[in-house]
Amino acid sequence: MNHARTPQILLRSLQVAWPTVLLIGGWALWVRVNGYTELVAPMPQSVAADIVTHSGAYLGPVLTTTWTALAGLVIGTLVGSVLAILVWSSRILTAVLTPAAVLMRSVPVVAIVPVMIGLLGTGKPAVVAITVVVTFFPAFSLVASGLRSPSVSTQDVFAVLGASKRATLVRLLIPCAVPNALVAVRIAAPSTILSAMLAEFLIGKSGLGFMFVDSVSYSNYARAWGTGVVATALAVVAFVAATRLERRTLDRVT
C-alpha cells in the first residue's frame, strides 16, 4: 500500500518544487547573462545565505507583517461582508455603496496613503487601514453574489412560511454566502501579505516593508532581496492556509 502511494507523493512533491526550481534558475540565469553585480542583483545563493545566517533579523518583521496582514484580512472580510449585506437590503444603499466600493478598489494605494495619514497618523492603525482598503473588495463582491445565489423557489418557500426578511437573511442567505466568503478569503490572503508590506514600505516603522527600505538605505541588497523572497514565501503560505481553512469549513457545513 505504501508502494502504491509513492508515485502520488513524488508527483505532489514535483508539483510543489518545479515552480521554485524554475524561478531560482531563471533568477540566476538573468543575473549571469546581464552580468549584474551584487549591488544591482545578488545571486540566489547570496540571498539564501543571508536568510539562513541572519534568520533572527527576519523573524520580527515577519511576525509584524503577518499580524498586520491577518488583522487587515479579518477586518477587510468583515467590512466587505457587511457592505454586501447592506447592498442586498436596500436598492438605495446599492446605488450608493456599490460605486463607492468600486471607486475605493480602483484608487491607487499611493493616493490613499495621505488620507490615512491625515485620519490615523503614521502608526500601525494607518497601516492596517490601508491593508483593509486593498483587501475588502473580494469579500464585498463575492458575498454579494452569494446572497443572490439561492433560487427563487427556495426563497418562495421562506415567504410562504412567513419568514421575515431578517430571518431569510440569517437562515438562508448568509449560509449560502459562506462558501463565497471563504473563496474571498482565499483570494485575498496572498495579496493581503503584499499589501501589508506595501503599506509598511510607504509609512510603516516596522515589518518587512520597513525592513526593505532600511536594507536599501544601507546598500544591503542581499537583505533587501531576501525580504522580497520571504514576503513571497509568506504569501504562498497564506494562500495554502486559506485554502485548507476553506476545505475544512466546507466539509463541516456541507
> What three-state secondary structure class fits 149?
coil
For residue 243, what is its C-alpha cell? 485554502
For residue 110, what is its C-alpha cell? 499611493
Cβ atoms of residues 62 and 125 within 8 Å = no
Cβ atoms of residues 218 and 212 within 8 Å = no
pLDDT score for 1: 46
pLDDT averaged per 10 residues in sequence order, the chain, 254 residues: 57 66 81 80 88 91 93 93 90 86 80 80 83 88 88 78 81 88 92 88 86 90 91 91 89 72
Cβ atoms of residues 73 and 188 within 8 Å = yes
pLDDT score for 79: 93
Q: b/e string for 78-107 if b means 16 or more Cβ within 10 A?
A: ebbbebbbebbeeeeeeeebbeebeeeeee
The owner of cell 508515485 is: 7
pLDDT score for 123: 78
Classify residue 144 by its DSSP letter.
Answer: H
Helices (H), the chain: 2-34, 44-53, 55-89, 91-106, 109-120, 124-147, 152-160, 165-168, 174-203, 207-217, 221-253
Phi (first) and psi of residue 42, to 5 degrees: -70, 155
pLDDT score for 72: 92
pLDDT score for 67: 93
